[in-house]
A and B are shown apart, each in its own frame.
Chain A
């Protein structure tokens, strides 16, 4: 009964001759917070795309709550309980902030379109509840004042936060955050760290975090995986990672190279 939430078994993907990810093998328990780092092009976002069904793995298998994810479509994977944000933000730009969040609730909506057409009580009341819940979520991310703005008119940091709200609204058990702190200033980053920590503890939410900002990673993640050229080169606590020679090599190059310069 002590199954891990997510189990990745020897997973990989090939684009033509290029192995973008190879031999990925780890598991994640529910409520765990995992960081993924690595140089540009190491395969971090590709990993998210594999998990969410945007790409199909060419080797190995992925299990979520004992369901095989390999052949599932992105929307089916989300319905199982994995939700994500995108590296380059993908909001519904021409919809209002509130609508962006309300759409994400759709799986949990009880009324049918027929109730809408007949303007039944069921629809009116539930719609009110959805709006209230969406507002509550927005408020936690300090976005409630902009609820009627179009998403395209928000600032970059607000758009990132809105994307997180939207991902949370589908009520996932596993949240994948792709560089949530990108483009934020130090104060915003600090707030974000607090927020992620709160969500993690309060909802017992498992989170996988991709981030370039090391300070964010070190503060948040008890366990970090380092990817380079599609392969895991190190895995462990932040301290362990910081000392690991392979990691230093991947980021800074080899020592003797530096000397010979």
Chain B
């Protein structure tokens, strides 16, 4: 039982990171109907930014340092997200969806391999931004301060996102654009600006996720974004793509399921699990747990 609760806590921590990445996928998909394959790489750049920020003079040790590093990573990633959309996706607004998807794969590969060239292919030890301490030890169930940090930051970020999407003018515009581009144009919404903003928002969350993953994982490397990116996308599909609470739930389920499988079965099956979940959800309930089904108009 102790072990199970411990696994659950670890899984939820890991799942919150998936959820943060999945939010970016789900928002972009909601607005452009595009699987932004490059999103996983944005998260990688977030982690790399943290690594270099500390190496180039940012101190470590206190909570302020951690906050500063998270802010820098979010800033860099927002810029990157904006640039990707501006350079690669905007010229293709009229193109068939498949072509945009292929471009997205191209951008993802470009970031991976340029990353390998610029940062070097070897894994880098991520600096300890805060010291690892156990804040709670109940009959062997351990909760570390890193996990607390992950939970708190994820919750704060998600509440922030919720506020933006449901309580601001921009959020309203985002929801409008996700229904219909043309109609949004007609009521005076600058659709391109809304799309840029969505990329900025999603990428900022991915940047934060990059730092949080650096806290719990010992190393970072240029290919680290590939698998978590795909898995976070699957989490978004699981929850119902285009649906913000869905991404959260999907991310948590995915994190817990993976930790359980590697804890009780074997780590080698971990990577296959996400895809098995994907296949099951696509066959049983393609619109996801919280999504609505749609039909093509003739």
Contacts and interface: CB of A to CB of B under 8 A. Distances in A.
A45 interface: yes
A49 interface: yes
A133 to B, nearest CB: 28
B265 interface: no
Interface residues of A, number: 4
Interface residues of B, number: 1
Contacts of A49: 298
B292 to A, nearest CB: 11
Interface string A33-63: 0000000000001000100001000000000
Interface in B252-298: 298
A226 B88 CA distance: 50
B193 to A, nearest CB: 30
A49 B298 CA distance: 8
A54 B298 CA distance: 8
Nearest to A49: B298
Nearest to A45: B298
A90 B298 CA distance: 9
A92 interface: no
A229 interface: no
B95 to A, nearest CB: 14
A86 interface: yes
A45 B298 CA distance: 9
Contacts of B298: 45, 49, 54, 86
A34 to B, nearest CB: 21
A16 to B, nearest CB: 11
Contacts of A45: 298
Nearest to A48: B298
Interface in A71-107: 86
A54 B295 CA distance: 10
B132 to A, nearest CB: 53
A86 B298 CA distance: 8
A209 B298 CA distance: 17
A235 to B, nearest CB: 25
A45 B297 CA distance: 11
Interface in A156-213: none
A48 to B, nearest CB: 9
A99 B166 CA distance: 51
Interface in B56-114: none
A141 to B, nearest CB: 23
B294 to A, nearest CB: 12
Nearest to B295: A55
A49 B295 CA distance: 13
Contacts of A86: 298
Contacts of A54: 298
A22 B298 CA distance: 20
B182 to A, nearest CB: 15
A163 to B, nearest CB: 14
Interface of B: 298
Interface of A: 45, 49, 54, 86
4 contacts: A45-B298, A49-B298, A54-B298, A86-B298
Top 4 nearest A-B pairs by Cβ distance?
A: A54-B298, A49-B298, A86-B298, A45-B298
